[in-house]
Chain A
Amino acid sequence: MDHITFLVAVVIVTALAFDFTNGFHDTANAMATSIATGALKPKTAVLISGALNLVGAFLSTEVAKTISGGIVDDTLVTPGMIFAGLVGAILWNLLTWLLGLPSSSSHALFGGLIGAVWVGAGSNGVHFDKVVEKILIPAVASPLVAGIAALLATYLAYKITARARKDSVTKGFRLGQIASASLVSLAHGTNDAQKTMGVITLTLISVGALGHDAGPPVWVITAAGLAIGLGTYIGGWRIIRTMGKGLTDIQSPQGFAAEAASTTVILTSAHLGFALSTTQVCSGGILGAGLGRRLAEVRWGTAGRMVIAWLVTLPAAAAVGGLSATVVKHGGNLGTALIALIAAAVALFIVIASRRNPVHADNVNETHEVTIRSEASSDVRTAA
């Protein structure tokens, strides 16, 4: 493998790092409501979800043929730009994790790439009409659809079981939740792990280490699957708390309705070729389920902060991606190493900041707020 230059090695490692953050950022999508309602113990939930993500990675054979699905001009993309874009995506994922905000990992990846390509190849390398078609419209439509479906389903579920014994109902819906949450995890593994596989494979093709139209080698599939599975197992507990407890107080019928809605929207959209964000679909489902139970409280403040994070995700990741691309473009290998070091330092800083008020399997359900008690909180908050 003498084709593997320093830059390519850095891209592969960065892609796997992104895959890892993708996993722990998105554990909440499948498992937050199951953990909140007690359908699954926190540790069991992340273990199931991690395992199913790994399985999903091996099941998906249709690896993305393009890095971005047409959002940027793939012929102009260099490994340096991919690296810069990934750095933007990783840092944004970590920052939103610190704040406990469920934001879309796919949007972070697209944003990072858009910024990097814009700087690296000019604004004509970015297909803005595709950005609207593939990102903006699904981002508005998919949470709404999931929300409305979950709202109706929740309302009817409570109506139907109103006169039945409460403990029987709770127990029954909890069992149902295990199935619906597992489906979300499996679908996540087949979709998101292949994004990273696609990035690594296309990088290898671009430097001639693989032939054109080559599929991902087994080591790429294994590495990507392990990265996303491990990330999922580590569990983004801060985001799990926000989605399971922060948006609304979820009971098991609501959790089941929300997960059923999310699964259905994800599967129908994939079937009809709509790209969407699992995170936004699941959040929409949870909000709908909150509204569907009468008198249930939806914390609009938390929901509002989440929506702001959605809006900022793409431009913020693009800004970091663009900045990194500038340094990589002018600094060559030295610039790449510098950006990698700075990114690692920022990541370490974020992890240390999260230690001030950690959220983990044992305290995830205790309150509904994720806070960072330190002066660090004020400046990251304005950044969000």
Chain B
Amino acid sequence: MSVDWNSLGEVFAVSVGVTVGVVVVFALGILGLARVEAAREVDGGTHALGLTQAGLCFLACAAVVAYGIYLIVPQFH
């Protein structure tokens, strides 16, 4: 019996990397959205910067979700 440390290490690195990446990007998107909402109450502005930040972040997350579905569904391979 031998432990396949390489695969184990790979699972560890990829899992931690992807999880932290997705959550951080998603959190940045929420931060952008929260700024827009806060600003709207103060001056009624739309704050294009916050909206763009949120849009890009959520788009990136959606791409990761799409890749996840691709991995789950064998017909796509």
Interface residues of A (CB under 8 A from B): 56, 59-62, 129, 132-133, 137, 141, 145-146, 148-150, 152-154, 156-157, 160-161, 164-165, 168-169, 172-173, 176, 179, 183, 186-187, 190, 253, 256-257, 260-261, 263-265, 267-274
| Residues B34 and A172 in contact, CB atoms below 8 Å apart | yes
CA distance A164 to B68 in the complex (A): 29
Within 8 A of A (CB), among B26-77: 26-31, 33-35, 37-38, 61, 65, 68-69, 71-75
CA distance A186 to B38 in the complex (A): 36
| Residues A145 and B69 in contact, CB atoms below 8 Å apart | no
CA distance A165 to B37 in the complex (A): 9
Checking A160, A187, A261 against B31 with a beta-carbon cut-off of 8 angstroms, the contacting residue is A160
CA distance A122 to B12 in the complex (A): 37
Q: How far is the CB of A168 from chain B (nearest CB, A)?
A: 4
| Residues B74 and A61 in contact, CB atoms below 8 Å apart | yes
Checking B1, B10, B24, B37 against A156 with a beta-carbon cut-off of 8 angstroms, the contacting residue is B24
Checking A148, A256, A272 against B23 with a beta-carbon cut-off of 8 angstroms, the contacting residue is A256
Pick 20 A–B contacts, CB within 8 A, sort by A. A61-B74, A61-B75, A62-B74, A133-B1, A137-B8, A150-B19, A156-B23, A157-B23, A157-B27, A161-B31, A164-B31, A164-B34, A165-B37, A183-B69, A183-B72, A190-B72, A256-B23, A268-B10, A268-B14, A269-B11
Given A61-B75, A183-B72, A274-B65 contact (CB < 8 Å): no
Q: Which residues of B contact A269 (CB under 8 A)?
A: 11
Q: How far is the CB of B38 from chain A (nearest CB, A)?
A: 6
Given A165-B38, A176-B61, A272-B11, A264-B18 contact (CB < 8 Å): yes
Number of interface residues of B (CB under 8 A): 36
Interface residues of B (CB under 8 A from A): 1, 3, 7-8, 10-12, 14-16, 18-20, 22-24, 26-31, 33-35, 37-38, 61, 65, 68-69, 71-75
Q: Which residues of A contact B28 (CB under 8 A)?
A: 160
Q: How far is the CB of A335 from chain B (nearest CB, A)?
A: 36
Given A261-B15, A265-B15, A169-B74 contact (CB < 8 Å): no
| Residues B19 and A137 in contact, CB atoms below 8 Å apart | no
| Residues B22 and A172 in contact, CB atoms below 8 Å apart | no
Which 10 pairs from chain A and chain B are nearest by CB? Answer: A164-B34, A172-B30, A168-B34, A153-B23, A149-B19, A160-B27, A261-B19, A149-B16, A157-B27, A265-B15
| Residues A274 and B15 in contact, CB atoms below 8 Å apart | no
| Residues B72 and A153 in contact, CB atoms below 8 Å apart | no
CA distance A136 to B14 in the complex (A): 21
| Residues A260 and B71 in contact, CB atoms below 8 Å apart | no
